[in-house]
């Protein structure tokens, strides 16, 4: 039985993720927000499970991720932890959790480790958050970076749009990726950047890049589990591949239940005591 949330095991999993880049093996990461999903993703052999602040949009029904609080994140991370025994468990630092200073960033990162049993945290942003990332890592907590489209900035007129199309914007993302590597991140998410730019960053960095809407050259890929399984039907981003349509399947099952109750077919003698 693996001892979850223990430093030795955590370091081993991080090393195995880093080693995959060196060997040219792809890294897989998926989000999870509850115990049964954590169990499924872990059982399927995925390398890392992210309790993403996408929680706000796909589970809590918000328009953006910015309303998600530390308490929301910890509540869900604790449930996922119970289901994840093998994969690396990463807690997503929500909007404003690294503010107003390094102390706040460290305090909130510690909560993910101590109160929810996460192995690492993810911090959105590039050069602007380097001091926060450095402080968290100095406290002994591994950090995954996140550059390109950073959903926590969408209310600032940024929009859910591809980043890095122009030369200046591309250079900024290259600089951001180098900055989070320099700060000590063990990997970095590249979100919604052109495939060629993601390939260039992946070749330049020594840490693994994990892409979402960033093309095939990244060292790994991450998707939001509700997108992959077809459970979120409000919109489907271009970069998503749906591997199932659980939303339609669930509605079919619920309609069958309703119809059988109304007709008296359920519960049958077999389902009764
Ligand atoms: O919150 C999230 O799910 C994320 C992924 C999209 C990487 O940050």
Domain ranges of the chain: 7-242, 246-273
pLDDT for the residue 158: 54
List, as one string, the DSSP characters of 138-164.
HTT--EEEEEES-GGGGGGTT-S----
Q: What's the rounded mean pLDDT across residues 178-205?
A: 98
As a whole number of angstroms, the distance between CA 156 and CA 261 comes to: 49
Look at residue 265 and tell me whether its pLDDT is greater than 80. Answer: yes
Look at residue 2 and tell me whether its pLDDT is greater than 50. Answer: no
Check pocket membership of 28 for ligand 1, CB cut-off 6 A.
no
195 class by beta-carbon count within 10 Å (0-12 exposed, 13-18 middle, 19+ buried): middle
DSSP 25: P
Give the three-state DSSP class for 233.
coil
Q: What is the pLDDT of residues 33-63, one digit of tens each?
A: 999 999 999 999 999 999 999 999 999 999 9
Q: What is the rounded (10 degree) CA torsion for 176, 181, 184, 189?
A: 80
HSE-up of 73 (CA within 13 Å, CB side)?
Answer: 32
Q: What is the CA(249)–ligand 1 centre distance, in A?
A: 25
Q: What's the rounded mean pLDDT across residues 193-209?
A: 98
Look at residue 233 and tell me whether its pLDDT is greater than 90. Answer: no
Give the three-state DSSP class for 98.
coil
- The mean-pLDDT minimum among 67-76, 101-110, 151-160, 168-177 falls in 151-160
C-alpha separations of 268 from 41, 159, 254, 255, 263 in Å: 34, 52, 17, 17, 11
The catalytic residues are: 191
Q: What are 2-7's contacts with CB under 8 Å, separation 24+?
A: 2/85, 2/86, 4/81, 4/84, 4/85, 4/89, 4/117, 5/81, 5/89, 5/113, 5/117, 5/118, 5/119, 7/140
**Residue to substitute in 53, 143, 144, 152 for testing ligand 1 pocket (most ligand atoms within 8 angstroms of CB):** 53
As a whole number of angstroms, the distance between CA 153 and CA 134 comes to: 21
Check pocket membership of 4 for ligand 1, CB cut-off 6 A.
no
pLDDT for the residue 155: 65
Query: Between vectors from CA 249 to CA 244 and to CA 250, what angle results, nearest 5°?
Result: 120
Q: Residue 97 — very low, low, confident or very high, per pLDDT cuts 50/70/90?
A: very high
Over the chain, what is the mean pLDDT?
95
- The mean-pLDDT minimum among 68-77, 111-120, 232-241 falls in 232-241
As a whole number of angstroms, the distance between CA 178 and CA 198 comes to: 12
**CATH for 7-242?**
3.20.20.60
Check pocket membership of 212 for ligand 1, CB cut-off 6 A.
yes
Check pocket membership of 227 for ligand 1, CB cut-off 6 A.
no
Enter the pTM of the model. 0.94
Look at residue 1 and tell me whether its pLDDT is greater than 80. Answer: no
- Of all protein residues, the one whose alpha carbon is nearest to atom 2 of ligand 1 is 52
């Amino acid at each position: 039985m693996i001892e979850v949330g223990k430093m030795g095991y955590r370091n081993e999993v991080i090393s195995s993720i880093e080693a995959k880049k060196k060997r040219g093996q792809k890294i897989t990461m998926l989000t999870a927000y509850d115990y049964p999903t954590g169990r499924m993703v872990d059982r399927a052999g995925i390398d890392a499970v992210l309790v993403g602040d996408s929680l706000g949009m796909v589970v809590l029904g918000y328009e953006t991720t910015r309303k998600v609080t530390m308490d929301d994140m910890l509540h869900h991370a604790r449930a996922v932890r119970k289901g994840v025994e093998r994969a690396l468990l990463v807690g997503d630092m929500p909007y404003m959790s690294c503010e107003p200073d390094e102390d706040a960033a460290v305090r909130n990162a510690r909560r993910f480790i101590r109160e929810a049993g996460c192995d690492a945290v993810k911090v959105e942003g590039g050069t602007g958050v380097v001091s926060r990332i450095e402080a968290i890592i100095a406290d002994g907590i591994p950090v995954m970076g996140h550059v390109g489209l950073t959903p926590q900035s969408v209310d600032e007129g940024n929009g859910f749009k591809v980043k890095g199309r122009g030369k200046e914007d591309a250079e900024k993302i290259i600089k951001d990726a180098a900055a989070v590597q320099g700060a000590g991140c063990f990997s970095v998410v590249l979100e919604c950047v052109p495939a060629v730019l993601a390939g260039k960053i992946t070749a330049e960095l020594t840490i693994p890049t994990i892409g979402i809407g960033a093309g095939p050259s990244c060292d790994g890929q991450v998707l939001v589990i509700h997108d992959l399984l077809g459970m979120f039907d409000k919109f489907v981003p271009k970069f998503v591949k749906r591997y199932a349509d659980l939303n339609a399947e669930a509605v079919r099952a619920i309609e069958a239940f309703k119809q059988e109750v109304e007709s008296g077919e359920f519960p049958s003698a077999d389902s009764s005591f």
